[in-house]
A and B are shown apart, each in its own frame.
Chain A
Amino acid sequence: MISCQEAVRKLWEYLENDVDAAQRADLDGHLALCRRCCGEAEFTDELRQMLRSSSGPHLPPGVEGHLVAFLDSFEGEPQ
């Protein structure tokens, strides 16, 4: 049986399927018995989804203007 500290440290990799079979078995065993770590696993999964589903920042008009002017400056320049 692994400790809560060890289980929590491996939760992200566990949820990302980035653990080997022995680590997965250790985590499965711990989560089957530990209510607090189960709650932490569910919360970690929500946090993962929050990051994964986060859409990118929009291009601000001011930055777009700079970049378009930068691109326009390529006109006539040798490659």
Chain B
Amino acid sequence: MGHEDLVEDAGPSGFTPLAREQLPWLYSLARRLLGPDRAEDAIQECLIKAYRGFDELRDPQAAPAWFRQILLNCVRDRYRRDAAPRREEPVDPLPEYSLYRKIAEEDPWPYSDSIHLDFLHSFSQDDVWNVLDRVDARYRVPLVLVHMEGHSTNQVARMFGVPQGTVLSWLHRGRKRFEQQLWEYADERRLLAVGKGGSR
């Protein structure tokens, strides 16, 4: 059954197969933005809203973009409610951590002439998601939207109703935390020790 048939049959029986097609990538996006524990809940909320507004979907080719926007709205609402730094909260000082310098100082592979690349290559895809999960949601959400999903800082600022400078500040803190967590994760999971003997 094609998208056109699914949209023309706009009742519950048309919605369900169309929504099922979206589940893999909806999960992928929600999982990166919200972590494994909250992704499923956000997708359920997205599916309910999509179901209620299914009559609005005119162009079947627009279904992925339409679902995506609904999911991002759900994430935005959760972020505003639970994660966004509040005005009265003290702002962390700008962290000056440098993973580049940390790797050079610790020199985990003394015989390598490309230790920085070796470090990054020691991470599997699962490792990257695990490290992202360790970054506080208030900084992870803008980090994923800008650096993984390709949104501009202006778009994210409009999405959350904050000045662009605020998004730049969130991104800076998110990137520094991501860098710190990459090192700590590599240390805890013994990726550095494994790397000393060659590739993983």
How many of A's residues come within 8 Å of B, CB to CB? 37
* A contacts, CB < 8 Å to B: 5, 8-9, 12-13, 16, 18, 39-40, 42-44, 46-48, 50-52, 54-59, 63-64, 66-68, 70-72, 74-77, 79
Q: Which residue of B lies closest to A49 (CB)?
A: B120
Quick check: B172 and A58 within 8 Å, CB to CB?
A: no
| Contact call A50/B128, Cβ cutoff below 8 A | yes
Cβ of B55 under 8 Å from chain A: yes
The CA-CA distance from A46 to B31 in the complex, in Å, is 23
CA–CA, A70 to B143, complex, Å?
30
Known pairs A67-B23, A75-B12, A79-B12; A43 contacts B40 (CB<8 A): no
Q: Could you list 25 examples of A-B contacts with CB < 8 Å?
A: A9-B94, A12-B171, A13-B168, A18-B152, A39-B116, A40-B98, A46-B116, A50-B123, A50-B128, A51-B128, A54-B129, A55-B125, A56-B25, A56-B28, A58-B27, A59-B24, A63-B39, A63-B40, A67-B27, A67-B44, A74-B15, A77-B51, A79-B11, A79-B51, A79-B54
B69 beta carbon closer than 8 Å to chain A: no
User: How distant is B75 from chain A, measured CB to nearest CB, in Å?
Assistant: 14
- Number of chain B residues whose Cβ lies closer than 8 Å to a Cβ of chain A: 49
- Contacts A39-B100, A47-B120, A54-B125 given; does A71 touch B52 at CB 8 Å: no
Number of A-B contacts (CB under 8 A): 103
Residues of B at the A interface (CB closer than 8 Å) are 11-13, 15-16, 19-20, 23-25, 27-29, 31-32, 39-40, 43-44, 47, 51-52, 54-55, 94, 96, 98-101, 116-117, 120, 123, 125, 128-129, 143, 146-148, 150, 152-153, 168, 171-172, 175, 179
Contact residues in B for A66 (Cβ distance below 8 Å): 40
Q: Are A57 and B54 in contact (CB under 8 A)?
A: no
Tell me, in angstroms, the Cα distance from A59 to B31 when the chains sit together: 9
